[in-house]
Amino acid sequence: MDLSIVILNLNTKELLRDCLQSLCESELPKERFQVIVSDNGSTDGSVEMVRREFLGVEVLENGRNLGFAAGNNAALFKTVGRYVLFLNSDTRVPPPTLPAMVALMEENTNIGAATCLVKTRDERMDVNCHRGFPTPWTALTYFSGLYRFWPRSKLFGGYYQSYKDLDSLHEVDAVEGAFMIVRRRAAELAAISPGKWWDEDFFFFGEDLDFCYRLREKGWKIVYYPGVKIWHYKGATHGFNRQGVVEFPAEERRKLVESTTEAMRLFYKKHYQKKYPGLVTAMVLAGVKILASIRSLKGGI
């Protein structure tokens, strides 16, 4: 088995159907990949739909919303492929994409994780598929808006690494969990513990940055390959879809808003706190606290 695909789902029944249908049309032979839906307690009939319409897809019922990291970890014991693709339910995968990404991993044994070009519904690039790590300086240039003035500058464009050639294969710091193909051997070496590739301290947001950071610490490359693409509906998996496809209850949305800034705090304390002076740490954590208050008042991300 070349590839195991893990799709985390929570109340995205129609989007999940489209995603699974796109995988059925893949040019990668069916015997070379498996699909596992890890369901975080859906109440919209998602599980029943999968079992009725996609007989070859395995379903894992988690019973409640475990979050992104724990929901993906829960499905790992079912995966058997040399590579594992973590895929959002609000995506569509064109037929050439899977075989191209598997071939990329096969031909480049130093790649730990990779992504393709990720496009939103309006055909724009989903910039989160091409990320830099949020160092204090990089975060400052992003949240202050400075990166907008000099996006092609390495000094100011580090948050999305927009100074790199987006039409060519190259390394990046991190790719997003919406479409992340991971080499099993690399993930096991960088794992939090056996069977836990994702850090469950991150409930939602930030876990993909953390995963990539740990892979790079172990010497693996993270790669962006624009030769193939997927479409990502952006936000549907956490209730902030601007197309109005998915609406989460107010309490669930509040928890997700809080998790965005909590992820920033966790990532900084885990990877950067020991690398910067105490004054810098105090300023960063104060900034995160202010941002958390602003987002809480606005009720959005």
Domain end position, chosen among 247, 263, 293: 247
pLDDT for 103-114, tens place per residue?
Answer: 999 999 999 999
DSSP-based three-state secondary structure for 213: helix
- Of 247, 264, 286, the residue that ends a domain is 247
Measured CA distances, 266 to 39, 43, 157, 195, 219 (Å): 25, 30, 23, 21, 22
244: pLDDT strictly greater than 60:
no
Q: What share of the chain is helix, strand, coil (3-state, %, to 5)?
A: 40, 20, 40
Q: Domain check: are 229 and 256 in the same one? A: no
Secondary structure of residue 7 in the 3-state scheme: strand
- Which of the pair, 238 or 15, is modelled with greater confidence? 15
130-160 pLDDT, tens digit per residue, is 999 999 999 999 999 999 999 999 999 999 9
Residue 251: partners with Cβ closer than 8 Å, 6 or more residues away: none
Q: What is the mean pLDDT of residues 257-270?
A: 89
Residue 123 shares a structural domain with residue 190: yes
The answer on 295 and 152 residing in a single domain is: no
Domain span holding position 154: 134-158
Q: How many domains does the chain have?
A: 3
How much of the chain, in percent, has pLDDT values that exceed 90?
A: 84
CB 88 within 8 A of CB 7: yes
Same domain, 146 and 286: no
Please give the single-letter amino acid code of residue 198: W
Same domain? 139 vs 43: no
Helix axes 207-217, 250-271, angle to 10 degrees: 20
The pLDDT assigned to 256 comes to: 75
- What is the end-to-end Cα distance of the chain in Å, rounded? 39
Entry pTM: 0.92
User: Would you place residue 245 in the very low, low, confident or very high pLDDT band (cuts 50, 70, 90)?
Assistant: very low
Position 250 confidence tier, pLDDT thresholds 50, 70, 90: low
Q: Is residue 34 domain-shared with residue 170, that is, in the same domain?
A: yes
Indicate whether 119 and 213 sit together in one domain.
yes
Could you tell me the CA-to-CA distances from 297 to 142, 244, 252, 287 in Å, in that order?
21, 21, 15, 16
User: Residue 85 is inside which H or E element, if any?
Assistant: strand 83-88
In angstroms, rounded to a whole number, what is the distance separating the alpha carbons of residues 194 and 206?
21
For residues 227 and 300, membership in a common domain is answered with no
Residues 75, 98: one domain? yes
- The full DSSP string for 179-216 is EEEEEHHHHHHS-SBTTB-S-TT-SSSSHHHHHHHHHH
| 169-203 pLDDT tens trace | 999 999 999 999 999 999 999 999 999 999 999 99
Q: Exposed (0-12), middle (13-18) or buried (19+): which is 58, by Cβ within 10 Å?
A: middle
Q: Contact 62/30 with Cβ under 8 angstroms?
A: no
> What is d(CA 16, CA 49) in angstroms, rounded to the nearest whole number?
9
- 148 and 14 fall within a common domain: no
| 146 and 278 inside one domain | no
The pLDDT score that the predictor gives to residue 204 is: 86
Q: At what angle do helices 46-53 and 13-24 cross, to 10 degrees?
A: 30
Q: Give me the mean pLDDT over the 81-106 stretch.
A: 98
Give 241 or 61, the one with higher predicted confidence.
Answer: 61
